[in-house]
Structure 1
Amino acid sequence: MKALRLEIEGFGPYLARQTVDFRAFDAEGLFVISGKTGAGKSTILDAITFALYGDVPRYAGTEKSIRSHFCGEEDPTEVVLDFEVGTETYRIRRSPDYERVKQRGEGTTVQPAEAQLWVRRGDDWEALAMKPREAGQEIARIMQLTPEQFLQVILLAQGRFAEFLQAGTDSRLRLLRSLFGTQRFEELTAHLRDIARQRARALEAADAGLEVLVSGAVAVAAAASPEEIAAPAPAEREAWFAATVESLTGLAARLAGAAASAAEGADAAKATLTEARGVEAQRRRLMEARDKVGALEARAEEHAEDRSRLDRARRAAPVSSAMEASQSAEARLALATERRDAALVSLRSAEVAGLAWPGHAGDLPQASVEALRARTSELASERGSLAEALEAEGRIASLEQAREQADGGLEAAREARSHAQEQLAALPAREQALRTELDGATAAAARLADLEDAVAREEKAATAHERIDAAQATLQAAREQEATASARRLGAVDRHDALLRLRLKSQAAVLAGALEEGKPCAVCGSTSHPYPAQPTDAHVTDEAVEEARAFADRIVKEFEEFQDRAAAAATALEVAQAEAGGRSREEVTAALTAAVEARDGAKAAAGRKSALESELEALGAERERLGRLIEERGTAVEAAQARATQAAAAVAAAGETIARGRGEHPTVAARAAALESARGLVDAVAGASEALGSSRASAEEARGAVERAAAATGLGDLEAVRAALLPRSEMDALAARIEQHEADLSGARAVVAELESVPLPEEVADLVALESAAAEADAGAKEAARASSDAASAVGQFTRLAENHAVKAASTAEARERHQAVDTLANTLEGKEPNERRMRLESFVLAARLEEIVAAANARLTTMSSGQYLLEYDDSAQFRNKQTGLELTIADAHTGRSRSTRSLSGGETFLASLALALGLAETVTAAAGGIQLDTIFIDEGFGSLDEDTLEVAMSTLDDLRDAGRTVGLISHVETMKEAIPAKLEVVKSGDGSSSVAVVLGDG
């Protein structure tokens, strides 16, 4: 990291903007920051720290503010730093939050903290971050140093020289990790531990799987064997599986033999039962057949009567057809008579009776069919003569309608011609109105642009007022959230601090919990522990402390987010107020309404311009069109007059034809309907009379046929024949009953003869006893088969479990070996057993780096201390879980002993810290992948050295020029200021504020 340029304004004692170009000191390599006490020398270094990290550790825990007390409410406070890291050049601008005058209204407002970060790309600056949070994240990525680490290796501030020298292993490890990028070794260690944990979980799952297999095998064996089965010990499982398979196989073979014997016995019992059932079934059939023959023979007399009835019915059957035909003929005769009488009644009662039969109505029953047919023809002929009159009567309505339409068309043609004439007369006035409106539209179009600009200005002001309300509400809410978050932040931080203090107090109880009688205490070495510390109710775990820390970090992050929101809301409010122009909402609304109305009116008028021009152009064409239209409509009037005259003549001709055709009737259609009705009535009487004569002849013929058929049966008179008749269904049923009786009797006699030919045992078989014996034998066989099947299934199932166990046991053994190898390696990298040095991998790597740092530091410390002191690093094992390998001690050549670095005097501590800082810078710069430390600042400390030692220290610092570094010193020692020609002078003015000036050489 190399500081290039610094700008300060409103920061500490610097009110006006001050610029420091550190590149001016590159040629010298060493410069001193000089000035009176309180002038602001250390503030230069504070500004660098604030620019990078947004904080000044020198002011931590005090009420002192970094904003200059010389600033007025309108003066800004900001720091701008240009710096290099590697091949990249960056610029960061940062300002704290402070009160300033409101841009609108009275009073002050809080200017939120700001930070912007850029990187140089050619001649331009490219933005990387525009907010404090984003800038902080980018600086952490670029610098790879925390603020504390920065103050230990680059900027050695007042009172902090000895921090790296006297730091513990953990603090020194974090710093060296950032400087040398050794996080990958810790990540490798964690990765191996994750693998070990995964394999441990897999091994536990595999062992659990083996236990499940063994439990399943024990359950299978216990269910199949009559003996008690116990789970084997892990070492005996292989032999147990083999012996149990052999035992279960023998048991299955024995049960299979027993099942075969039981099946043979069941088959024999079943055969005996089947044979007995067949004999008894034959005995029952014989008895049933004999009973059936007796019952059928007892119905012989009834059977003979059935045969006689069937014979008489079959002889009388032909007469039945003749009788049915005669009955049908009589029915038709009655119906024909009824219809002829009904036709006569209809004719006599009809209104057209006189028209239908001009003679006396009493003559109708005696009228011949021929006379009736002749009258029907006369009526039809008279009806046919009315065709022309009917056609005229049907057309008269349409003819009258056509006449009315022709009259209407004539009137419409006359009106259309008049309307066109009126339109033509109105055109001059319309043309004058359009030309006047066109002049107004042309003027409106000319001023439309100015009106649009006015509306845009007022809309922007109105939108600004809307944003003002929203921004005020947002700002109020953001500040309330910020206040709440601030309170939560303080509470979370206090809780973490309290838990941390309690945790430290409870460490004695934690150590006591690990004591074992007879083993030495890690603290005092005693093997007796009579009074171990006891846990208290306030015992706090590391997890609780870490959880409280993580919670505090989240709350702090929330607080910073709310700060950013409040700052953004305040900025948005100021911008909106500026855009509103200082006018009230009512004034802006009224102005906007007036501007919109004026704009809309002008826009509407301007929009009509082209339409008006088109209308004027169309007006001339309309004049020509109307002239042609008037001429066309005059011709149409003449044609309509001709059509009206023709329609009136057609109506008059049709009226004369209708008058001739209707006679005495109201209409021609009424006369035609009366003739048609009369013809129908006469025709109906003629048809009914003709049908009546035919029905009489058919009835006489049917009566004679019945008498002839009855005589042919030989059963006697017609009444005897009727008595013998049976319905067809009854005859069929009687014939079927006779046939069935004869078939049943013949079949039953055949069965008796067949069964009597086979001898049967006299004693009846006991089927119940035989069925019980067969069922018992079958149940025994099934039980034996089930037991045999279960045993065979158990053998198969147990064998599969044994095979699975053998495979899984082998794979588990291999997994156990792999886990032990990885676990041992992970323990070694973590500094645990079997690592005798108790040093983690990353500590081991950094110990080598620390050795290089110590060697580089000792090259200078030996000279500066006149050979008395050397730094040493200590990698000896420590207590219990304490990490080792990065401890530092000081070797004193005068005493020949090594002691703690904290035992050095103030001047000695400064020399050792300076040597260590320079050695650290050299080693880090030389390391591949390390951070480049091109600028180092040292604040005070030289006043504690005597003249000889100071001269040696100056010589050491002067050697740094050869390495291309720039070292800035702050000191009140006059000897140093005289010996170093390059200076950054801080001058305090009469009003108390300060300014800076670069002085090179004697100038």
Structure 2
Amino acid sequence: MRLHRLELEAFGPFAGHEEVDFDRLSDAGLFLLSGPTGAGKTSVLDAVCFALFGQVPGARDTAARLASDHRDPATTPRVTLEATIAGRRIRVSRTPPHARPRKRGEGDELVSVSATATLEVDAGDGWTPVASRIEEVAHELDALLGMTASQFLQVVMLPQGAFSGFLRADAKSRQALLERLFDAGRFSRVEDRLRDQDRTAASVVAQARVAASTALAAAAGRWESPQSPPELTDGDDVDDVATWLAGEEERLRLAHEQAAAALESARDVAREAAAARDQAREVAERQRRRRDALERLRAGDEDAQRERAARLDAHRRAVPLAGHLSQVAAARAAAGDAERTLAKARAWIDGLEDDALAGTAPDGWGAGARERAEQAAALRDLAELEAGLPGRRGELERRRLAARADAERAAAARARGDQAEAQERDLRDRVERGRRAATTAAELAAQATAAGERAAAALERDRLEREVQACVARAQAAVDAHQAALDAVLDLRRRRLEGYAAELAAGLRDGEACPVCGGDHHPAPARPGDGHVDAAQEERAEAEVERLRGRREDAERLLGERRQELAAAQQAAGLGAAEALAAERDALERRLAEAREIAGAGEGAATALAELERRRTADRETEQEALRAASAATARADALAEELDAVAARVAQARGDAPSVAARMRALEHEARYLEKAAAAHEGAQAAAAALDAAEARLAAALAEHGFDAPPDPRTILAPRDAAALEQEVERDARERRSAEAALAAPEVAAVAELPPVDLAAVERRTAEARDAVERATAVADAARRRHADVTERLAGLRTVLDALGPLTDAARRAHALSELARGGSGNARRIQLSAWVLAARLEQVAAAATIHLRRMSSGRYALVLHEEAASARGKGTAGLGLRVQDGWTGEERDTATLSGGESFFASLALALGLAETVSAEAGGAQLGTLFIDEGFGSLDEQTLDEVLAVLDELRDGGRAVGIVSHVPELKQRVPAQLLVEKARDGSHLRHAAAAPL
């Protein structure tokens, strides 16, 4: 793949139209993409990735933020890329999601526009459209590129920082990246499938054992087995369980037969007890009947019976006169009541101070009552007006007070409005000053924030510079100590080899073969010389070398980390002194505080001004409303005063000598009511006298008719209920005597007269005991029958469950062994999982390709090798994915974390190039015509930078172009072709340039 041309429109930091001629840059083979921090160097690479895949790398992949913040809202953001892929020249154009103004209508409202994509190919005579939808474009490009976006970012855009982490990562983290780049998913899926099968088989076996154990425990509980069933821990316990089941079946069968025999015996005893109980009950009932009859005869009182019969006869003779007697008594009582009422009425009328009524006949009392009632009715309305006079006079006073209060309220509102005019002018001046200060504060806040960040970064930069100096000294001391110890080990090895003959001679024995010549005679064995070295001394020296190597690696790793932190701090702080930057920050913060104070006062004045205007408007409205209310209240008070004067005159005339009209009205109503009652009493007395005469005449006729000389005593006449009760008592006396005599004469009762009393309770007790015994025997027999039936019914099912356990256990063992083998567990000698084993082969290819570049960059010193033991110590299943650096100068392998900052850079770069070549081969051998390397050159010294650039220059073989993304000043003199990114307030711009002269 080769890039030809890139066009940007309102994309990222670029506000307008920008073009990149990659053909022009590629003619030089090696070109530089340079610019200040934050200008948009990485955004150029983002545009290429967005054009091909519709996304940008890493955390920047936010489609909603790809449209430039500096653009004109009417400008459509767009990226257009021309490239040759798989021998075909294509042009792809994409627009990210963005917002634009409405094309129709008014207002500033923006509308959202979705992303678009188009793809064209060069047909020789012009561009031919191929796809115009995002899904279609993605389908066509996937077929041409042959790689995913993740692979593209590792093959074409080499993010150096990411590969530095990959270089130092542990085996598990390195496995995650390799799985994204190489298709090892099918092997991971095999591992997962075998793991799932293992878990499923184990679960099935566990469930089967649990089910069998549960069924056995439930059966033992239901059968009340005296012996618990054997436990099922593996397949060898099945025979013990089968023996237990057979024994339980035989035990329950015998128990069932014994319980049935005991039940039949209990039933015979119960039948005999029931027959004896029935006979005893019959004799006891006859004896009870005889006792009752004797008791009834002894309980009768003959005198009382005769007295009740006489009372009943007297009642029956006098009962026909009961109505006449009661009517006479009632008429006589009513006549007496009427006379007494009439006497009271006459005495009240005679006491009235009214000459017209005094001494008049009762016939005139009704007319007097009607006259007084009419007079009282005529006074009722005027009495109500009289009762309301005090309240209405109070209302008159309230209306007059309200009129005065409204007039005073209007005057106060007018005075407040006059005082507010001066305050309004002062507040408007303060509001204007606050607005100007707020604008200034916004500008100062941004300046103070930036100054504070630079000051903090400067302090961190100075601290890190001191730390780097200390780390350099410690690293140099550690290197010197390690080298000295290594030289000492080499010297000891030389001296030991020189004296090795004496060491062999020390083990020779006459008659035993020499390990060198084979002879069994040793006439002149060598003797140790001065300074002889033995194996123990060499081992101690090697242990010291290993200890010092660890110290050297720790020191070099710490130095590299501090150098990287220092580079970041220098980039953020610039070259300014920390004190000057802090002073600039403090001055800006003081100015910002002053501006904010003035702005805050302006905001308070604006609030006060708004409140003042609101109060002035309210005061004007209050004044007008109060004037209107005062006028209306005065008019209502005058009208009410006239009305009250007229009512007072009418009341004075109507009440006469009475204290009030109401009192006069109540007196008239009282007299009218008593006159009505007196007239009614006169009429009632006349009617009661006539009724008494009639009742006495009827009683005299009835006495003559029934042969009475005088009226009988009314007490001999009973009430109907009492008469009926007395009649029932007389009849019951006769009936009881006849019944008792008949009962004693019955043959069956007479037959038991001489028999002793029956103990029925003892008989019933014996019968109940026999019945309880039957119930207990029945329960025992039923339980025995159910248990025997249950064991017979469950036996086949339990044996089926037990028979299935064996094959299930064998299958689970096979599934577990396969799963352990695939995931690097027991049975896997190398402890490496299947997917890691495949990825280790890929990593070996990557390391071999990277070593070619690494040897060139390090002057033949370093190579990348796989290290299985290092990976195994970090996690089961990832053996074979460890990386170490082989040092050609010492012959030792080193941890990648011990590399210095510069060594880490070119090792990471070599690894990135090797991985790019391997992924390219994995993707079908696609030719990579354009590569980009992003940052990391600032940590290299001059010689190493020359070696790295020489390696990159060699990548141009075959027409390949390599782009370096960096802001390192030295590269601007070393790389001829350059694309500069210039930063400005209105957005960044791109410019082609040549290298600055040395």
TM-score by length of 2: 0.49
